[in-house]
Amino acid sequence: MWLPFHTVCLGSRTVSRRSVAAALLKCSKHRENVSLFSHSAAAQTCKALQFRNHGDPSKVVQLENVDLPPIGEKDVLVKMLAAPINPSDINMIQGDWVIPKDAGQGTWRTEAVLAEGDVISLSNDIPLLSAATLGVNPCTAFRMLSDFEELKPGDSVIQNAANSGVGQAVIQIAAARGINTINVVRDRPEFTQLSDRLKAIGGTHVIKEEALRRPEMRELFKSCPKPKLALNGVGGQSATELLRHLQFGGSMVTYGGMAKKPVTVPVSALIFKDVKVRGFWVTQWKRDHSSNGRAFRAMLDELCQLIRQGKLTAPACTEVSLLDFNKALDAAMQPFTSAKQVFIM
């Protein structure tokens, strides 16, 4: 989906900026403005989720018919196959402040016409849900594990929100590289089941947030080194606790703020441990590398190879019809959510 500027709909050419939502697209080139998709060549409209006011997504989002623009000489007609709901999409609908820069089409829709240069190809030999969720969460995890600290086999990473889409990707990519992960999640009735699932995909340790200040952390660090890298998707006290366990000179990278509370950095962490506090937004990374697509292409190729090898799977997903968008939006906003809602067109 695309973030509205004011009275703007998802999927409109007049939207204010690109979304961080991923989607799986099927496209064809065309000759003389005729798509090679015989079933779509004459399509004039598509169904799309739209909103014109900020607010509760389940109340302000509506499923409507949307006119498709004419297909230009360098455009492609794409058919959406699957598109997830990411936390950032929910925040956009609720009403974040933004500076408009880029414009584009939405992904919560059945079809769209996009410029050829605005899409990047993927091999179709990977699972549908893996492909649909590839562009945001795995890319975020990949870059954070690659760009901030030189991590080697045997090193450690600590992260909160470990059951999120990013968290699950971090676990699997790190495991493929021989890196230990200390995975922090909020306490919940099904903690044991969640812990078992995260360990099954490669997590080294799974602990509750309150354990971060307990003596058992000393025991944990007898089996793996203190982390060079902390990944923060929560903010607030949870982020502060991650900082306490970084080794000297380590980095904490913030990519989300689900607690909606600021990150507080203890003075002692800066003075006596010389920690680095950084931020990361995968959309900005893509923009910074838009003039040369080799880095993005190389990352996608490596991620797809991990998928083919069975080392990277999609997060737990709930497949939802576009007609049931209210149900999906409600589910995406529930606490302790481990399943990503994915529209199947």
User: How does DSSP classify residue 17?
Assistant: B
Could you tell me the pLDDT band of residue 253, with boundaries at 50, 70 and 90? very high
Is the pLDDT at 42 greater than 60, yes or no?
Answer: no
**What is the DSSP annotation of 66-83?**
EEPPP--TTEEEEEEEEE
Is the pLDDT at 93 greater than 90, yes or no?
Answer: no
Which residues neighbour 28 within 8 Å (Cβ) at sequence distance 6 or greater? 35, 36, 37, 76, 77
Could you tell me the pLDDT band of residue 22, with boundaries at 50, 70 and 90? low
Is the pLDDT at 34 greater than 90, yes or no?
Answer: no
**Dihedral, CA of residue 307, residue 310, residue 311 and residue 317, to nearest 10:** 70
Which residues neighbour 114 within 8 Å (Cβ) at sequence distance 6 or greater? 25, 27, 75, 76, 78, 104, 105
The residue ranking higher by pLDDT, 41 or 295, is 295
pLDDT digits (tens, 9 = 90+) for 173-183: 999 999 999 99
User: What was the pLDDT predicted at 146?
Assistant: 98
User: What was the pLDDT predicted at 296?
Assistant: 86
User: What was the pLDDT predicted at 29?
Assistant: 52
Which of 57-61, 88-92, 136-140, 200-204 has the least mean pLDDT? 88-92
Is the pLDDT at 30 greater than 80, yes or no?
Answer: no
The residue ranking higher by pLDDT, 145 or 83, is 145
User: How does DSSP classify residue 316?
Assistant: P
User: What was the pLDDT predicted at 26?
Assistant: 65
How far apart, in whole angstroms, are the C-alpha atoms of residue 239 and residue 263? 6
